[in-house]
Structure 1
Amino acid sequence: MDGWTIFTIILWIGIIGWGIWELIQYFRRKNAATIVSKEEFKENMRKAQVVDVRGKDEFDAGHILGARNLPYLQMKQRANELRKDQPIYLYDEKKTLSARSAIILKKQGYQNLYILKGGYADWDGKIKRKKMK
Structure 2
Amino acid sequence: MDSNMIFNLVALGFIVWFFYSRFAGVKGLRNLSSEQFQEALTTDNHKHVLIDVREPGEVKQGYIPGAVNIPLSTMGRRLAEIPKDRPVYLYCRSGMRSKQAAKLLRKHGFNELSHLKGGIMSWNGKQTQ
Give me the TM-score of the superposition, normalised by structure 1: 0.83
Which residue of 2 is the match for residue 23 of structure 1?
20
Distance 2:3 2:121 in 1: 45
- 1:128 matched to 2:125? The reply is no
Map 1:35-114 → 2, pairs under 5 A: 35-46=31-42, 47=44, 48-114=48-114
Which deviations, in whole Å up to 9, do the C-alpha atoms of 1:44-67 show, x marking residues without a partner? 114321110001111122001121
Distance 1:52 1:32 in 2: 19
User: What's the % identity of the aligned pairs?
Assistant: 30
Which deviations, in whole Å up to 9, do the C-alpha atoms of 1:64-90 show, x marking residues without a partner? 112111110110111211111111110
- 1:14 matched to 2:11? The reply is yes
Does the 8 Å contact 2:26/2:103 carry over to 1?
no
Contiguous gaps of at least 5 residues in structure 2: none
Distance 1:61 1:17 in 2: 35
Which is richer in helix? 1
| RMSD of Structure 2 on Structure 1 (CA) | 1.9
Distance 1:39 1:99 in 2: 18
Does the 8 Å contact 1:54/1:69 carry over to 2?
yes
Distance 2:123 2:115 in 1: 12
Q: Report the residue type matching 1:115 in the other structure.
A: H
Q: Which structure would you say has the larger Rg?
A: 1
Does the 8 Å contact 1:32/1:102 carry over to 2?
no
Contiguous gaps of at least 5 residues in structure 1: none
Distance 2:90 2:125 in 1: 15
The size of the alignment, in residue pairs, is 125
Give me the TM-score of the superposition, normalised by structure 2: 0.86
